[in-house]
Amino acid sequence: MARVKYRFNTPAGKAFDVVNVVVLVGVGAIAILPFLYVLAGSFATEYELTTRPFFLWPNEFTTDAYASILGSTVFVRAFITTVAVTGVGTAIQLALTALMAYPLSKIDLPGRRTIMSLVVFTMVFSAGLIPTFLIVKELGLLDTYWALILPAAINPFSLIIIKNFFQELPKELEESAKIDGANELRILRSVVMPLSKPVLATFALFYAVGIWNDYMSPLIYLNDTSKWTLQMFLRQVTAASSLTAEDLGNELPPPAQGIKFAVVMVATIPVLLAYPFLQKHFAKGMLIGSVKG
Protein backbone atom coordinates (compact mmCIF):
# COMPACT_ATOMS: atom_id res chain seq x y z
CA MET A 1 0.00 0.00 0.00
CA ALA A 2 2.93 2.29 0.65
CA ARG A 3 3.54 2.42 -3.08
CA VAL A 4 -0.03 3.44 -3.79
CA LYS A 5 0.33 6.30 -1.32
CA TYR A 6 3.58 7.35 -2.92
CA ARG A 7 2.14 7.45 -6.40
CA PHE A 8 -0.45 9.99 -5.40
CA ASN A 9 1.92 12.15 -3.41
CA THR A 10 1.67 15.29 -5.46
CA PRO A 11 4.13 18.21 -5.12
CA ALA A 12 1.35 20.12 -3.36
CA GLY A 13 0.98 17.23 -0.93
CA LYS A 14 4.69 17.26 -0.18
CA ALA A 15 4.68 21.01 0.28
CA PHE A 16 1.81 20.60 2.73
CA ASP A 17 3.80 18.02 4.70
CA VAL A 18 6.71 20.41 5.05
CA VAL A 19 4.48 23.30 6.12
CA ASN A 20 2.64 21.04 8.54
CA VAL A 21 5.86 19.95 10.22
CA VAL A 22 7.03 23.54 10.53
CA VAL A 23 3.69 24.70 11.95
CA LEU A 24 3.44 21.91 14.50
CA VAL A 25 7.05 22.23 15.63
CA GLY A 26 6.30 25.95 16.08
CA VAL A 27 3.20 25.15 18.10
CA GLY A 28 5.16 22.72 20.25
CA ALA A 29 7.79 25.40 20.85
CA ILE A 30 5.17 27.99 21.80
CA ALA A 31 3.74 25.55 24.33
CA ILE A 32 6.97 25.43 26.33
CA LEU A 33 8.90 28.61 25.45
CA PRO A 34 7.22 30.75 28.15
CA PHE A 35 8.19 28.13 30.65
CA LEU A 36 11.81 27.95 29.45
CA TYR A 37 12.04 31.76 29.60
CA VAL A 38 10.85 31.78 33.19
CA LEU A 39 13.27 28.99 34.05
CA ALA A 40 16.16 30.99 32.60
CA GLY A 41 14.84 34.16 34.25
CA SER A 42 14.70 32.56 37.66
CA PHE A 43 18.49 32.14 37.52
CA ALA A 44 19.22 35.60 36.12
CA THR A 45 20.27 38.76 37.89
CA GLU A 46 17.92 41.68 38.44
CA TYR A 47 19.97 43.72 36.01
CA GLU A 48 19.63 41.16 33.25
CA LEU A 49 15.90 40.76 33.84
CA THR A 50 15.29 44.47 33.44
CA THR A 51 17.56 44.97 30.46
CA ARG A 52 17.18 41.86 28.27
CA PRO A 53 13.69 41.32 26.95
CA PHE A 54 14.08 37.65 26.08
CA PHE A 55 16.62 34.95 26.75
CA LEU A 56 16.78 31.23 27.32
CA TRP A 57 20.15 31.28 29.05
CA PRO A 58 21.22 33.89 31.60
CA ASN A 59 24.49 35.73 30.98
CA GLU A 60 25.21 35.79 34.63
CA PHE A 61 24.03 32.90 36.73
CA THR A 62 22.62 33.47 40.22
CA THR A 63 20.51 31.56 42.72
CA ASP A 64 19.59 34.65 44.75
CA ALA A 65 15.88 34.33 43.99
CA TYR A 66 15.72 30.73 45.15
CA ALA A 67 17.78 31.53 48.23
CA SER A 68 15.34 34.29 49.01
CA ILE A 69 12.22 32.12 48.79
CA LEU A 70 13.82 29.23 50.66
CA GLY A 71 14.65 31.68 53.44
CA SER A 72 11.07 32.93 53.50
CA THR A 73 9.10 31.44 56.37
CA VAL A 74 5.86 32.33 54.57
CA PHE A 75 6.90 30.37 51.51
CA VAL A 76 8.18 27.35 53.41
CA ARG A 77 4.94 27.16 55.40
CA ALA A 78 2.80 27.45 52.25
CA PHE A 79 4.87 24.82 50.49
CA ILE A 80 4.70 22.27 53.31
CA THR A 81 0.98 22.94 53.73
CA THR A 82 0.34 22.36 50.05
CA VAL A 83 2.36 19.15 49.93
CA ALA A 84 0.51 17.79 52.97
CA VAL A 85 -2.96 18.81 51.76
CA THR A 86 -2.24 17.36 48.33
CA GLY A 87 -1.02 14.06 49.78
CA VAL A 88 -3.86 13.55 52.23
CA GLY A 89 -6.46 14.96 49.86
CA THR A 90 -5.45 12.72 46.97
CA ALA A 91 -5.65 9.62 49.17
CA ILE A 92 -9.11 10.56 50.41
CA GLN A 93 -10.51 11.58 47.04
CA LEU A 94 -9.19 8.51 45.24
CA ALA A 95 -10.42 6.17 47.98
CA LEU A 96 -13.91 7.69 47.96
CA THR A 97 -14.11 7.58 44.18
CA ALA A 98 -12.84 4.01 43.77
CA LEU A 99 -14.95 2.66 46.62
CA MET A 100 -18.06 4.13 45.07
CA ALA A 101 -17.10 3.10 41.55
CA TYR A 102 -16.64 -0.56 42.44
CA PRO A 103 -20.20 -1.36 43.62
CA LEU A 104 -21.58 0.71 40.75
CA SER A 105 -19.68 -1.51 38.32
CA LYS A 106 -21.87 -4.44 39.39
CA ILE A 107 -24.68 -4.52 36.86
CA ASP A 108 -27.06 -6.29 39.25
CA LEU A 109 -26.61 -3.88 42.15
CA PRO A 110 -30.06 -2.69 43.26
CA GLY A 111 -30.58 1.04 42.75
CA ARG A 112 -27.60 1.27 40.42
CA ARG A 113 -29.42 3.08 37.63
CA THR A 114 -30.96 5.60 39.99
CA ILE A 115 -27.60 6.40 41.54
CA MET A 116 -25.93 6.70 38.13
CA SER A 117 -28.66 9.07 36.92
CA LEU A 118 -28.21 11.21 40.02
CA VAL A 119 -24.45 11.31 39.47
CA VAL A 120 -24.92 12.39 35.84
CA PHE A 121 -27.46 14.97 37.02
CA THR A 122 -24.82 16.60 39.23
CA MET A 123 -22.65 16.99 36.12
CA VAL A 124 -25.34 18.97 34.35
CA PHE A 125 -26.73 20.97 37.24
CA SER A 126 -24.97 22.33 40.28
CA ALA A 127 -26.47 24.50 42.98
CA GLY A 128 -23.68 27.01 42.61
CA LEU A 129 -20.97 28.64 44.63
CA ILE A 130 -22.94 30.19 47.48
CA PRO A 131 -25.07 27.22 48.60
CA THR A 132 -21.94 25.03 48.59
CA PHE A 133 -20.06 27.69 50.53
CA LEU A 134 -22.86 27.84 53.12
CA ILE A 135 -22.82 24.04 53.54
CA VAL A 136 -19.06 24.10 54.07
CA LYS A 137 -19.62 26.86 56.61
CA GLU A 138 -22.47 24.94 58.28
CA LEU A 139 -20.25 21.86 58.62
CA GLY A 140 -17.63 23.98 60.39
CA LEU A 141 -15.04 23.44 57.66
CA LEU A 142 -14.29 27.11 56.96
CA ASP A 143 -10.64 27.91 57.60
CA THR A 144 -9.78 24.22 57.76
CA TYR A 145 -7.87 22.23 55.17
CA TRP A 146 -10.83 19.87 54.86
CA ALA A 147 -12.53 22.60 52.85
CA LEU A 148 -9.84 22.15 50.19
CA ILE A 149 -10.39 18.38 50.03
CA LEU A 150 -13.96 17.36 50.76
CA PRO A 151 -16.24 19.59 48.63
CA ALA A 152 -14.63 18.27 45.43
CA ALA A 153 -13.87 14.78 46.75
CA ILE A 154 -15.54 12.81 43.96
CA ASN A 155 -15.29 14.02 40.40
CA PRO A 156 -18.30 12.50 38.59
CA PHE A 157 -16.29 12.13 35.35
CA SER A 158 -13.54 10.20 37.12
CA LEU A 159 -16.13 8.14 38.95
CA ILE A 160 -17.75 7.04 35.71
CA ILE A 161 -14.47 6.25 33.98
CA ILE A 162 -13.23 4.16 36.90
CA LYS A 163 -16.61 2.45 37.14
CA ASN A 164 -16.49 1.59 33.43
CA PHE A 165 -12.98 0.26 33.84
CA PHE A 166 -14.01 -2.05 36.69
CA GLN A 167 -16.94 -3.20 34.60
CA GLU A 168 -14.58 -4.31 31.84
CA LEU A 169 -12.42 -6.49 34.07
CA PRO A 170 -12.78 -10.21 33.31
CA LYS A 171 -15.58 -11.62 35.45
CA GLU A 172 -13.98 -15.08 35.69
CA LEU A 173 -11.32 -13.94 38.16
CA GLU A 174 -13.88 -12.54 40.54
CA GLU A 175 -16.10 -15.57 40.22
CA SER A 176 -13.33 -18.01 41.01
CA ALA A 177 -12.38 -15.90 44.02
CA LYS A 178 -16.00 -15.99 45.11
CA ILE A 179 -16.06 -19.78 44.83
CA ASP A 180 -12.97 -19.86 47.01
CA GLY A 181 -15.07 -18.10 49.63
CA ALA A 182 -13.78 -14.53 49.31
CA ASN A 183 -16.25 -11.76 50.13
CA GLU A 184 -16.54 -8.53 48.13
CA LEU A 185 -14.02 -6.67 50.28
CA ARG A 186 -11.50 -9.40 49.75
CA ILE A 187 -12.14 -9.50 46.01
CA LEU A 188 -11.74 -5.75 45.75
CA ARG A 189 -8.46 -5.85 47.65
CA SER A 190 -6.81 -8.90 46.12
CA VAL A 191 -8.29 -9.14 42.64
CA VAL A 192 -9.64 -5.81 41.43
CA MET A 193 -7.12 -3.38 42.95
CA PRO A 194 -3.99 -5.09 41.60
CA LEU A 195 -5.52 -5.20 38.12
CA SER A 196 -6.49 -1.53 38.26
CA LYS A 197 -3.21 0.01 39.36
CA PRO A 198 -2.52 2.03 36.19
CA VAL A 199 -6.00 3.53 36.11
CA LEU A 200 -6.01 4.33 39.80
CA ALA A 201 -2.53 5.84 39.51
CA THR A 202 -3.68 8.06 36.68
CA PHE A 203 -6.64 9.38 38.61
CA ALA A 204 -4.56 9.79 41.74
CA LEU A 205 -2.31 12.09 39.73
CA PHE A 206 -5.27 13.98 38.29
CA TYR A 207 -6.66 14.54 41.77
CA ALA A 208 -3.21 15.53 43.05
CA VAL A 209 -2.72 18.07 40.26
CA GLY A 210 -6.23 19.37 40.91
CA ILE A 211 -5.57 20.01 44.59
CA TRP A 212 -2.07 21.38 43.97
CA ASN A 213 -3.35 23.84 41.36
CA ASP A 214 -6.54 24.83 43.16
CA TYR A 215 -6.82 28.56 43.72
CA MET A 216 -10.56 29.03 44.13
CA SER A 217 -11.06 26.84 47.21
CA PRO A 218 -8.40 28.49 49.35
CA LEU A 219 -9.58 31.88 48.11
CA ILE A 220 -13.13 31.18 49.23
CA TYR A 221 -12.70 28.95 52.25
CA LEU A 222 -9.51 30.16 53.93
CA ASN A 223 -9.58 33.59 55.53
CA ASP A 224 -6.62 32.93 57.77
CA THR A 225 -3.58 34.00 55.73
CA SER A 226 -1.30 31.75 57.78
CA LYS A 227 -3.14 28.77 56.23
CA TRP A 228 -2.54 29.87 52.65
CA THR A 229 -1.42 27.39 50.06
CA LEU A 230 1.30 27.75 47.45
CA GLN A 231 -1.04 29.06 44.74
CA MET A 232 -2.21 31.83 47.07
CA PHE A 233 1.39 32.68 47.88
CA LEU A 234 2.28 32.68 44.18
CA ARG A 235 -0.55 35.09 43.46
CA GLN A 236 0.52 37.37 46.28
CA VAL A 237 4.08 37.46 45.03
CA THR A 238 3.42 37.93 41.31
CA ALA A 239 0.55 40.41 41.68
CA ALA A 240 2.44 42.66 44.09
CA SER A 241 4.28 45.60 42.60
CA SER A 242 6.87 45.39 45.32
CA LEU A 243 7.48 42.96 48.13
CA THR A 244 9.01 43.72 51.48
CA ALA A 245 11.01 41.36 53.63
CA GLU A 246 8.05 41.21 56.01
CA ASP A 247 5.68 39.95 53.32
CA LEU A 248 7.83 36.88 52.99
CA GLY A 249 8.90 36.46 56.60
CA ASN A 250 12.44 37.06 55.38
CA GLU A 251 15.42 38.85 56.82
CA LEU A 252 16.49 40.57 53.64
CA PRO A 253 14.32 42.14 50.94
CA PRO A 254 13.87 39.77 47.99
CA PRO A 255 15.07 40.47 44.43
CA ALA A 256 12.03 42.32 43.06
CA GLN A 257 11.77 40.58 39.69
CA GLY A 258 13.70 37.36 40.17
CA ILE A 259 11.50 36.18 42.99
CA LYS A 260 8.45 36.16 40.72
CA PHE A 261 10.24 33.92 38.24
CA ALA A 262 11.48 31.59 40.95
CA VAL A 263 8.08 31.23 42.65
CA VAL A 264 6.39 30.39 39.34
CA MET A 265 9.00 27.68 38.82
CA VAL A 266 8.57 26.22 42.29
CA ALA A 267 4.79 26.09 41.88
CA THR A 268 5.14 24.38 38.49
CA ILE A 269 7.97 21.90 38.90
CA PRO A 270 6.10 19.31 41.02
CA VAL A 271 3.37 19.19 38.38
CA LEU A 272 5.96 18.74 35.64
CA LEU A 273 7.58 15.94 37.61
CA ALA A 274 4.23 14.16 37.75
CA TYR A 275 3.58 14.80 34.06
CA PRO A 276 5.56 11.91 32.49
CA PHE A 277 3.69 9.43 34.69
CA LEU A 278 0.42 11.12 33.90
CA GLN A 279 1.10 11.11 30.20
CA LYS A 280 2.00 7.46 30.17
CA HIS A 281 -1.44 6.56 31.37
CA PHE A 282 -3.92 9.32 30.77
CA ALA A 283 -4.70 8.63 27.16
CA LYS A 284 -5.18 4.96 27.93
CA GLY A 285 -7.11 5.64 31.12
CA MET A 286 -9.44 8.10 29.45
CA LEU A 287 -10.14 5.89 26.50
CA ILE A 288 -10.82 2.71 28.41
CA GLY A 289 -13.59 4.57 30.14
CA SER A 290 -15.07 6.36 27.23
CA VAL A 291 -14.81 4.01 24.29
CA LYS A 292 -15.83 0.76 25.85
CA GLY A 293 -18.61 2.11 28.08
207-226 positions binding another protein, by CB under 8 A: 209, 212-216, 219-220
Pick the piece of the chain touching another protein (CB under 8 A) from 35-43, 60-68, 173-181, 243-251.
35-43
The reply to whether 192 sits near another protein by the rule CB under 8 A is: no
Pick the piece of the chain touching another protein (CB under 8 A) from 14-22, 74-82, 196-204, 245-253.
14-22
Closest alpha carbon to 156 in 96, 88, 220, 91: 96
List the interface residues with another protein, window 70-89 (CB under 8 A). none
155-to-122, 171, 206, 211, 256 alpha-carbon distances in Å = 10, 26, 10, 12, 39
List the interface residues with another protein, window 217-276 (CB under 8 A). 219-220, 231, 234-235, 238-239, 257, 260-261, 263-264, 267-268, 271-272, 274-275
Q: Which residue in 124, 171, 179, 194 binds another protein (CB under 8 A)?
A: 124
Pick the piece of the chain touching another protein (CB under 8 A) from 62-70, 74-82, 148-156, 194-202.
148-156
Pick the piece of the chain touching another protein (CB under 8 A) from 74-82, 112-120, 172-180, 247-255.
112-120
Closest alpha carbon to 157 in 15, 2, 289, 16: 289
Q: Which residue in 172, 180, 183, 224 binds another protein (CB under 8 A)?
A: 183
| Nearer to another protein among residue 5 and residue 251 (C-beta) | 5
The reply to whether 22 sits near another protein by the rule CB under 8 A is: no
CA triple 281-284-290, angle to 5 deg: 135
